[in-house]
Amino acid sequence: MAGNRRFTIPSIEKMHIEFKEKLIPEIHLRTEKRQKLASQMKYRLENGGGTAVYILGVRDDGTASGISEIELEESLSVLKQVASECGAAIDRVEKFDSNGGLIARVIITTQTRPSVDHLVVSVAGHVNHGKSTFLACLITGERDDGQKWLYLDTLPHEVERNLSADLHFIVLGFRGSEPNLMKNPLDRAERIRVTRESERLVSFVDTVGHEPWLRTTIRGILGQEIDYGFLVVAADDGPTHITREHLGIMLAMDIPVIILITKIDKVPASRVEAAESEIATLLKRVGRIPFIVNSVNDVELLVDKVSVVVPVLKISSVTRQGYDLVYHLLRRLPPRTKNRELPFLLYIDRVYNVEGVGNVVSGSVRQGSLTPGAELLIGPTRKGVYVPVRARSIEMHYTRLAEAEPGYIVGVAVKGVREELLERGMIICEPSLNPVSVWSFEAEVTVLSHPTRISTGYEPIVHIHTIASTTRVKLLDKPYLKAGESGRVEMRFKYRPFYIQPGDKFVFREGKTKGIGVVTKILETS
């Protein structure tokens, strides 16, 4: 701290300066007050380019009141906690004399996370097969007590029904070969700590196992830039029709699959062996080789062969059997190749309006890299227009980033667009991408399941990246397609245009998944 001096209070409050008389922990760290302070601080940090200045010991009318050393320390403890939630920290404190008391100038700056080794893993499987419990035990290092899934299922109706109903994102870090565990995954400060301190980060996308929300699971697999897919199968149930559907979607998207047999503590060894056999049969039918993992040596043997060989690990969240092998596998899996040389592109998965920050869009970086301050485009809108915006800041797991790279799941605060224009399925990109608004495209499709046949006029929901939209199908080389058949089709978005590219893979559904396809040619644009 600087020595005590006289301080001249600024006559005009600048956008990055905040005046406070004093902050009292018993009052200002209560949930509502703390949230208000956090929003206020984020606003100041945004306008100060990552720096906010708090003047303590000054009344709202701008006159000096002065505070004691004890009141200053209490105020600083409040600012420290709020700054941590904002991905920032107190950089320095300068103290000045004022009428027998103190005025303090507190400089707060954002703490940016440098580039880090990063994996994205989607976790899928049938309802109640233990996905959320597995993740909660994985990131905390604790055993299952019957309530661990609450660390992830935070929506009231999810807690009431004991079912995940939306995607949940959580992070596991590694320092060296050891996992960097969290005591409380619901605490933002804990997520920030793990994100900042870890040499490798694994971002998990916890999907939905309940059949009515299958389209949400598809969004979790197609909408994120997934490196690997964990498919969870409970030992007591074995593979189900949902297991097969989730496996089919992962394989169709060329995502390497790892299978976890959970709940092995609940059944005899013979039932675990039966589940292994059922899984092996299922994998062989789709041309994959199962490999039961029993040791660290097994992990080392297959870690670079996961695109062909499917590791099968047996775990118990109650006894934590098998968790050491999961940690070792996650530490050793190589990131899949991603292209950061292309123009920046992100498909929007969620849209927020954060008090003090403004509009925030989140999703996975598909290609390229992004730094704060970049000029970007968002669109297409329903009218096919791309709107110019500026990236004010970037966060991943509540931690500010100096740069976002391919595969990072990030939130980008944007300036220059109205919230009501923003929707899931739109993109945010560099202008050099020269994006177009696509109404129709040609594709090669394969029908996986259909009770009758598909012909011209068929209208399925098509899932591409975070896009989920009704399309109208026109067959180009056959009068109709039955289950197991492939063909060339033209597909037209029914209600609005989107941005897609040749090579994009997709799933089409009508109640259930009916088929898969790949975009081969862009036809009509606007």
pLDDT in tens, 484-510: 899 999 999 999 999 999 999 999 988
Is the distance from CB of 129 to CB of 266 less than 8 angstroms? no
Rounded Cα distance between 510 and 389, Å, is 36
Burial (CB count within 10 angstroms: exposed 0-12, middle 13-18, buried 19+), residue 278: middle
- Domains, the chain, with CATH or none: 2-110 (3.30.110), 117-332 (3.40.50.300), 345-433 (2.40.30.10), 440-522 (2.40.30.10)
Three-point CA angle 241, 163, 397, nearest 5°? 105
Kind plus residue range of the DSSP H or E element containing 282: helix 269-285
Classify strands 461-464 and 375-379 as parallel, antiparallel or unpaired.
Answer: unpaired
More confident residue, 398 or 345: 345
197 or 98, greater pLDDT:
197
Residue type (1 letter), 62: G
**Confidence category of residue 310, pLDDT binned at 50, 70, 90:** very high
Evaluate if residue 516 carries a pLDDT over 70: yes
Cα–Cα distance for residue pair 333/304, rounded to 1 Å = 7
pLDDT single digits (tens) 119-168:
989 898 888 888 889 998 999 999 987 765 555 544 443 334 444 434 56
Nearest-angstrom CA–CA distance, 35 and 511 = 41
| Among the ranges given (107-111, 114-118, 298-302, 360-364), the one the predictor scored with the smallest mean pLDDT | 114-118
* Overall average pLDDT of the 282-306 stretch: 93
Check if the beta carbon of residue 216 is closer than 8 Å to that of residue 249.
no
Query: What distance in Å separates the CA atoms of residue 28 and residue 115, rounded to the nearest whole number?
Result: 34
Average pLDDT over residues 222-251: 88
